[in-house]
Chain A
Amino acid sequence: MILVWMIGILLAGGLAAWAAARRSADMCRRVALAAVGAELILALGLWASPPVATNYPGRWVAAVDWPWIDSLGIRFCLMADGIGVLMLLLVGVVGLLAVAASWRDVTHRVGFFHFALLWALAALCGAFVAMDLLLFFFFFEMMLVPLFLMILLWGREHRRRAAIKFFLFTQLGGLFLLVGVLGLYFLHYARTGTPTFRFFDLVHEPMSRAAAWWIMLGFFAAFAVKLPVVPVHGWLPDAHAEAPVGGSVVLAGLVLKVGAYGLLRFLLPLFPLAVVELAPAAMILAVVGILYGAVQSYGQSDLKRLVAYSSISHMGIVLLGVFSRNELALQGAMVTILAHGVSTGALFALAGMVHRCTGTYDMGRMGGLWKKYPWLGGAAMVLAMASVGLPGLANFIGEFLVLLGAWKASPVLTILAAGALIVSVPYSLKIIQQVFHGRGATASDLPAGAGADLRERAMLAGCIAILVWLGLAPQAVLRTSAAAMQAVSAAAATAPAPNAVLPNEPGANQ
């Protein structure tokens, strides 16, 4: 029930914030902040709460399972285990960050902006706890419209193109997901005669090799676009760069994570055999992504695009971890998801503040900001180091665990990935060097008071505190997700023996 409350609070908060904007813009922002704060408090409560009894394997801390469309076996089934709780916490933290980062960034149509933001967050919450595949798809699609409007209405100059591109890419991927879900549904229906979309009913569905491949590809297409995996990443740089600051924070901090979450939660357990065959290719794509993202990132002169490309690189690490399929690597992927969500979200927020100070995102026209705005410089330094993977900060734990786990799966690719990670150092340093050091053309005539105000300092300090805490004591997070990750890696490892698989369809033997 608490999960329904979370989504409900965000939806109602969106409407309330819109209504409050008639009174004053600040009122609207406070309402939005309160709604996201309430979500975070509920998520913290879930984190501490004991497991509830369910009919399904796993350690679930909250569950609702209501009939929705009975005749088709679609249920309103929301359940949260360790992975879900961590994702909900991330929604809360990044959501607060997004509201705070928009405080001085969004000045017109404030009510509608916060409405869209909170509805996007609500859909994200739903996607992270939906355990009915159709309900997951429902939330997966539902988040697109508010995000589209956020980019379209408050974005930069090429916003219209970026918004439509973002929508088209994700929607096409999403439709392949739907076809895959339907394929799975009919396989199950043909075998048992029961219509159901519930994950637990479909999870050990025996299927021929060809069927598993095709259905798995449908799922993979959707999540690969969201993550994004390199050949289908085209929407990301534009969407992230053109979106308003709050939109970029949500996109990088949460929306990309839906792809990672989908791979972890659905792809690995549902198609253990096909995933084994896909793994080498996916891991190669991951290494390519790490390298490509890093190189592209270094080549950017636009601060936001630089951060956007660095996301591709980091998501490559997540992909590598997921397809290594052992507990260590999966835990590493989970930590990377959280660490990247917070650190990149904060970097985008910081980019927004730099833009407010300098009036540009072009790094060529910046420089010497440290003297003027030491707070921004200090925060940027820590965040850039987090992005590099400096020990003591959260990203290091994630990358380290992923590499450890990946070594078991493929030493060669691990060496390549580790090499690629080194390439990622320069782009982080480039931020510090070009933006904060050196002599800027505009540094002298910058407004003194435009730097981070108290709210923004608290926000950046909070993000840095989380990164340091995760970096020094990741055990709290690792313990939360351990049970769920063990289940995932067990499901992926104990694939039914080949002779238990249904007879192959004719022609499926190649």
Chain B
Amino acid sequence: MTPQDFIALGPLLAVALGAIAALLSIGVRRRPRAAFAICGLGLAAGLAAIVPAWRVAPRAVTGLLVVDGYALFFTGLVLAAAMAVLVLSAGYLRGRGEHAEEYCVLLMLATLGACVLTASTHFASFFLGLELLSVPLYALMAYGRTQRPNIEAALKYLILAGVSSAMLLMGMALVYADLGSLSFAHIFADVAQSTEPMPWFLAGAALILTAVAFKLALAPLHFWAPDVYQGAPAPVTAYVATVSKGAVLALALRYFGPLLAAGEPARVPLAFLAVASMFVGNLIALRQENVKRLLAYSSIAHMGYLLVALLAAPNAVTAVAFYLAAYFATMLIALGVLVVLSRPGAEAQTLDDVRGLAWRRPWLAAAMTAALLSLAGMPLTAGFFGKFYVLLAGSGAGLWGLVIVMVINSALGLYYYLRVVAALFASAEQPVPAAAPLVPLPWAGAVVLAALVGVLVWLGTYPAPLIQMIRLLTAGAN
């Protein structure tokens, strides 16, 4: 390890140090504010450390990780999203009678795992990163120890994620048995050179794909998503929807991108997953009355859209990166609004909870509307250019069938987003639940939401700077 290596790993080190410092501070004295501040500082330091890391990139560190522009972009995205979730959580946990300090530490550890995933080029770091991301999530989902839905969500996720981890390990073992290597670079080279069929490798790749599809909640491996989204505490749901999925997708693009470019066989199952996810997500979402479940099905569909972009490899990176950035901002707003609306013992999650919100809390309703329109891909929001970019990548690669399926699904999706918008703007003539007393919003949460809406509109009106940045950072990747 040279000093250069440490600079390259700066973002990861900052997050890790933040987690340790927070842990130590608990040993000295329990103070939620201090823990949140330390973790926030750690995440901010991680974000700041991206700049010097970019100076030394691209750089392979220890053969397990590679710090290149691609990894740094997704690391930045993950850290920014984690920061938003952290701030939202601070207001959410207050008054819930749980210790908030360990929550911060767990969040930091999961974030560290996500960062490792974005930089991973080796099965060992892949698996370590994935477990580091998943294990804290079990605890985070069950953080409300007295809340039945929390426990239920965590248990479901624990069992299913355990199975998928086992599949992942088995898949890695099979690939290793066939090729004798755990490093992505060697695998790509072997696959590109091979002339005869490789049954073990194919079986292994299929198992790995299954595990990744589970993490991304792609149909038909999506069953955990609605229950977990609904049952988990709202900020944790936001974290699962953005950071967890984004990091896995970044890894999937790094791993499957070259394999897709190498050969046709990998395209068929991925295309199947994409089509199935789009239809399953959108069709089931049509009748949902619970906004969290609705967003879960919607995110299944959105992962399907992202797969369309991924299938457009090797020109997929910009589209996936831009779409993910837009999707992060959008999902964080949508779930963030639910977070700030929730009161201890009264989680805001059904359509009735948000009915008529526009007349009670106009700014929150405006933010939620912006997020829903962005999910639907309307102009002036980030989702418009996100969807445009995915369609651009898809049609550029000649995937016209998938593009048409995506278009039909966008129209399907529009219906349930509009249902929520209609509920937000429902007038007082319609039955309104006993209006909850207007509690002042946590100011930090409000600031985060305002900033995210700013990002959403910025990306929806002038996305050129972000596109430039993505192109600059990911030049040469894939």
A positions within 8 Å CB-CB of B = 67-72, 134, 138-139, 141-142, 144-145, 148-149, 152-153, 160, 163-164, 167-168, 171-172, 175-176, 178-179, 182-183, 185-186
B463 touches A138 (CB 8 A): no
Which residues in window 61-97 of B have CB below 8 A to A?
none
Contacts of A179 in B (CB 8 A): 391, 395, 403-404, 407
B425 touches A152 (CB 8 A): yes
Could you tell me the distance between the alpha carbons of A379 and B321 in the complex, rounded to whole angstroms?
Answer: 58
Write the nearest CB–CB distance from B321 to chain A, whole angstroms: 13
B422 touches A163 (CB 8 A): yes
B425 touches A153 (CB 8 A): yes
Write the nearest CB–CB distance from B55 to chain A, whole angstroms: 24
With A68-B462, A68-B464, A71-B464 given, is the CB distance from A141 to B378 under 8 Å?
yes
Cβ-based interface call for B269 (8 A): no
Contacts of A185 in B (CB 8 A): 392
Write the nearest CB–CB distance from B370 to chain A, whole angstroms: 10
Among A67, A141, A175: residue with most chain B CB under 10 A: A175
B467 touches A182 (CB 8 A): no
Q: Which of B31-39, B133-141, B240-248, B410-418 has 4 or more CB atoms under 8 Å from chain A?
A: B410-418
Cβ-based interface call for B182 (8 A): no
B427 touches A153 (CB 8 A): yes
A71 touches B467 (CB 8 A): yes
CB-nearest residue of chain A to B411: A172
Q: Which 8 residue pairs across A and B have the least CB separation, nearest first? A: A172-B411, A175-B407, A142-B379, A182-B395, A69-B464, A138-B379, A141-B379, A164-B418
B392 touches A152 (CB 8 A): no
Write the nearest CB–CB distance from B162 to chain A, whole angstroms: 40
Which residues in window 20-42 of B have CB below 8 A to A?
none
Can you name 5 extra interface pairs (CB under 8 A) apart from A148-B421, A167-B414?
A67-B464, A68-B464, A72-B467, A141-B379, A179-B395
Could you tell me the distance between the alpha carbons of A185 and B411 in the complex, rounded to whole angstroms?
Answer: 23
With A69-B463, A69-B464, A182-B392 given, is the CB distance from A167 to B404 under 8 Å?
no
Contacts of B422 in A (CB 8 A): 152, 160, 163-164
CB-nearest residue of chain A to B385: A69
Contacts of B462 in A (CB 8 A): 68
Instruction: Please tell me which one of the listed residues B379, B388, B415, B425 contacts residue A164 in the complex, with CB atoms under 8 A apart.
Output: B415
Could you tell me the distance between the alpha carbons of A182 and B319 in the complex, rounded to whole angstroms?
Answer: 15
Interface of A is mostly: helix
Could you tell me the distance between the alpha carbons of A300 and B228 in the complex, rounded to whole angstroms?
Answer: 51
A168 touches B464 (CB 8 A): no
B395 touches A186 (CB 8 A): yes
B395 touches A176 (CB 8 A): no
Which residues in window 404-437 of B have CB below 8 A to A?
404, 407-408, 410-411, 414-415, 418-419, 421-422, 425, 427
Interface of B is mostly: helix
Could you tell me the distance between the alpha carbons of A382 and B404 in the complex, rounded to whole angstroms?
Answer: 47
Could you tell me the distance between the alpha carbons of A308 and B408 in the complex, rounded to whole angstroms?
Answer: 28
Could you tell me the distance between the alpha carbons of A68 and B404 in the complex, rounded to whole angstroms?
Answer: 27
Could you tell me the distance between the alpha carbons of A141 and B380 in the complex, rounded to whole angstroms?
Answer: 10
Instruction: Please tell me which one of the listed residues A138, A160, A172 contacts residue B384 in the complex, with CB atoms under 8 A apart.
Output: A138
Contacts of B411 in A (CB 8 A): 168, 171-172, 175
Could you tell me the distance between the alpha carbons of A179 and B422 in the complex, rounded to whole angstroms?
Answer: 28
- 30 of the cross-chain contacts (CB-CB < 8 Å) are A67-B464, A68-B464, A69-B385, A69-B463, A69-B464, A71-B464, A72-B392, A138-B379, A139-B379, A141-B378, A145-B373, A148-B418, A149-B425, A160-B422, A163-B422, A168-B415, A171-B410, A171-B411, A172-B408, A175-B410, A176-B407, A178-B388, A179-B391, A179-B395, A179-B403, A179-B404, A179-B407, A182-B391, A182-B392, A186-B396
Cβ-based interface call for B471 (8 A): yes
Contacts of A182 in B (CB 8 A): 391-392, 395, 403
Cβ-based interface call for B468 (8 A): yes
CB-nearest residue of chain A to B359: A109
CB-nearest residue of chain B to A172: B411
Contacts of A141 in B (CB 8 A): 378-379, 384
Could you tell me the distance between the alpha carbons of A67 and B462 in the complex, rounded to whole angstroms?
Answer: 11
Contacts of A178 in B (CB 8 A): 388, 391, 407
Could you tell me the distance between the alpha carbons of A141 and B378 in the complex, rounded to whole angstroms?
Answer: 7
Could you tell me the distance between the alpha carbons of A131 and B20 in the complex, rounded to whole angstroms?
Answer: 57
Write the nearest CB–CB distance from B384 to chain A, whole angstroms: 7
Contacts of B392 in A (CB 8 A): 72, 182, 185
Among B385, B392, B410: residue with most chain A CB under 10 A: B392
Contacts of A183 in B (CB 8 A): 395
B427 touches A167 (CB 8 A): no
Contacts of A167 in B (CB 8 A): 414, 418
Write the nearest CB–CB distance from B87 to chain A, whole angstroms: 29
Which residues in window 290-331 of B have CB below 8 A to A?
none
Write the nearest CB–CB distance from A121 to chain B, whole angstroms: 15
Chain B 439-478 interface 0/1 with A at a Cβ cutoff of 8 Å (1 = within): 0000000000000000000000011100110010000000
Contacts of A70 in B (CB 8 A): 464
CB-nearest residue of chain A to B414: A171
Write the nearest CB–CB distance from A184 to chain B, whole angstroms: 10
Contacts of B414 in A (CB 8 A): 167-168, 171
Could you tell me the distance between the alpha carbons of A69 and B379 in the complex, rounded to whole angstroms?
Answer: 15
Could you tell me the distance between the alpha carbons of A71 and B392 in the complex, rounded to whole angstroms?
Answer: 13
Contacts of A144 in B (CB 8 A): 378
CB-nearest residue of chain B to A167: B418
Could you tell me the distance between the alpha carbons of A219 and B374 in the complex, rounded to whole angstroms?
Answer: 24
Which residues in window 114-137 of B have CB below 8 A to A?
none
Write the nearest CB–CB distance from B42 to chain A, whole angstroms: 34
B468 touches A142 (CB 8 A): no
B415 touches A71 (CB 8 A): no
Which residues in window 359-393 of B have CB below 8 A to A?
373, 376, 378-380, 384-385, 388, 391-392
CB-nearest residue of chain A to B463: A69
Contacts of A142 in B (CB 8 A): 378-380
Contacts of A145 in B (CB 8 A): 373, 378
CB-nearest residue of chain B to A190: B396
Contacts of B419 in A (CB 8 A): 164
Contacts of B384 in A (CB 8 A): 138, 141
Contacts of B464 in A (CB 8 A): 67-71
Could you tell me the distance between the alpha carbons of A186 and B403 in the complex, rounded to whole angstroms?
Answer: 14
Among B376, B378, B396, B468: residue with most chain A CB under 10 A: B378
Could you tell me the distance between the alpha carbons of A139 and B379 in the complex, rounded to whole angstroms?
Answer: 8
CB-nearest residue of chain A to B380: A142
CB-nearest residue of chain A to B407: A175
Could you tell me the distance between the alpha carbons of A441 and B392 in the complex, rounded to whole angstroms?
Answer: 61
A71 touches B468 (CB 8 A): yes
Contacts of B463 in A (CB 8 A): 69
Could you tell me the distance between the alpha carbons of A70 and B421 in the complex, rounded to whole angstroms?
Answer: 33
Write the nearest CB–CB distance from A70 to chain B, whole angstroms: 6
Write the nearest CB–CB distance from A177 to chain B, whole angstroms: 10
CB-nearest residue of chain B to A195: B392
Could you tell me the distance between the alpha carbons of A138 and B391 in the complex, rounded to whole angstroms?
Answer: 15
Write the nearest CB–CB distance from B141 to chain A, whole angstroms: 34
CB-nearest residue of chain B to A161: B422
Contacts of A175 in B (CB 8 A): 407, 410-411
Write the nearest CB–CB distance from B318 to chain A, whole angstroms: 9
Contacts of B408 in A (CB 8 A): 172
CB-nearest residue of chain B to A138: B379
Contacts of A149 in B (CB 8 A): 425
Could you tell me the distance between the alpha carbons of A2 and B401 in the complex, rounded to whole angstroms?
Answer: 42
Could you tell me the distance between the alpha carbons of A148 and B417 in the complex, rounded to whole angstroms?
Answer: 13
Could you tell me the distance between the alpha carbons of A160 and B423 in the complex, rounded to whole angstroms?
Answer: 10
CB-nearest residue of chain A to B373: A145
Could you tell me the distance between the alpha carbons of A163 and B391 in the complex, rounded to whole angstroms?
Answer: 26
Contacts of A172 in B (CB 8 A): 407-408, 411
Could you tell me the distance between the alpha carbons of A186 and B404 in the complex, rounded to whole angstroms?
Answer: 16
Could you tell me the distance between the alpha carbons of A67 and B373 in the complex, rounded to whole angstroms?
Answer: 26
Contacts of B379 in A (CB 8 A): 138-139, 141-142
Could you tell me the distance between the alpha carbons of A148 and B418 in the complex, rounded to whole angstroms?
Answer: 9
Could you tell me the distance between the alpha carbons of A148 and B467 in the complex, rounded to whole angstroms?
Answer: 31
Contacts of A148 in B (CB 8 A): 418, 421
Could you tell me the distance between the alpha carbons of A210 and B388 in the complex, rounded to whole angstroms?
Answer: 24
